[in-house]
Amino acid sequence: MSLLNDALRAAEQRQDRPEQPAAYMGGQSSSRGSRPLLLIVVVLLALVIAFMGGYWMLTNSSSPQPMVVESEPSQDQRVQRTAAVVSDQQPEVAEPEPAQRPEPDPEPIIVAQVTTEPLPAPAEPKASEPESAALELEAEPAPVVAKAPAKQETRPAEAEKEDEKPEEVSTAGVKRVPETPAATDRSTARELERLVSAGNITSAERGLAALTQAQTAPRSRYVVARALLVDGKQDQALGWLPPEIAAAHPRLRLLRARALHANSDLAAAVDTLSSDVPPVQDHAEYRVTLATLLQQQGQNTEAARHWAELIAWDDSHAPWWVGLAISLEAQGEPARAARAYRQAAELPGLPRSLADYVRQRLQALRAG
């Protein structure tokens, strides 16, 4: 600026000096030639000043800012950054709209359970913050995120162990259906048969007495009464075979008739069996006993009818043919009796004593 002032002052002084016209014209031409130089100097000065001002502004703007040292993030901040990294790495897992699914996804629930305290709203991260957060997580993983996968890995192992354990069936809530009287009678009869086979008839009678307090027990009565009848204890057997109970069961009537016949009461035995005659196909033994007792009582016609029904049902039993032959011979029909004897002799399974009797009767009928 001082140089500019000096130049202006010198120019004014030259203008104030009196000179000749020629000289004045020459001076005027010289002053005109010095003006471009002055302008160049002014422009250069302005450029220098502008350059220095710009440099000063540039140095002030590019001066390093004070370094901010971040302290180590707290556990809540780590959880926030972990959630941000997880959401960045898995963009496809999006939280459903409230209108479609009211319940949140499982992953946000796990994060909510870990962060028990309310977290402040995080500031908008710069473009470089996710990368730095990811590097920080790789260098120092958060303890909460590290524990969660471990629990998830141990849960399937525990579930597999529970699956390998044998399934225990609980019977606490299962109602046990009580046995019917018939089922109880069957199971008790099997137990009484074991006692009778072991020769413990007294214990069998005690068991039967306990059972008959609740029901009639026809099967159990049959087991004990038959054992007593085999042992020759007809009176004890009749004690377990009262008429009112035996009347409803053919097997009990048969045992009662045999016990009465063993006590020489033939009429009572026949009456017991004749009161209700069952079908042949269901009770063949019952019909054989009735036919035999009828023959002993002299009722040969009725006996022959029962023998004929038995043979019509099954003609392979030789003793039944013998019974029919005896009844026919007693009725005065020798020809039919002889044919029945011959049929019995031709069939297998005839006892020796009965076979001898058949031969004798055949010889007698031929001779007669």
| Domain-wise residue ranges, the chain | 181-276, 281-368
What's the gap between Cα 139 and its chain centre? Answer: 48
Cα dihedral 130, 136, 138, 143 sign: negative
Tens digit of each residue's pLDDT (9 = 90 or more) over 289-348: 999 999 999 999 999 999 999 999 999 999 999 999 999 999 999 999 999 999 999 999
Alpha-helical runs (H) found in the chain: 2-16, 21-61, 75-89, 106-114, 129-139, 143-164, 181-197, 201-211, 218-230, 234-239, 243-246, 250-262, 266-274, 284-297, 300-313, 318-330, 334-346, 352-367
HSE value, Cβ hemisphere, 13 Å, CA-based, for 362: 15
Cα dihedral 287, 183, 192, 207 sign: negative
Long-range contacts of 229-237 (CB under 8 A, 24+ apart): 229/255, 229/258, 229/259, 229/262, 231/201, 232/262, 234/259, 234/260, 234/262, 234/263, 235/263
Which pLDDT does position 48 carry in this prediction? 83
332/300 Cα distance (integer angstroms): 10
Helix, strand or coil for residue 215?
coil
Given a cut of 50, the residues of the chain with pLDDT beneath it are: 19-30, 62-64, 66-71, 79, 82-100, 102, 104, 106-154, 156, 159, 161, 165-166, 168-172
Instruction: Write out the two tokens for 143.
Output: 């303890």
The answer to whether residues 1 and 49 touch, using CB atoms and an 8 Å cutoff, is no
Q: Please name the fold of domain 281-368.
A: 1.25.40
Which pLDDT does position 50 carry in this prediction? 83
192/208 Cα distance (integer angstroms): 8
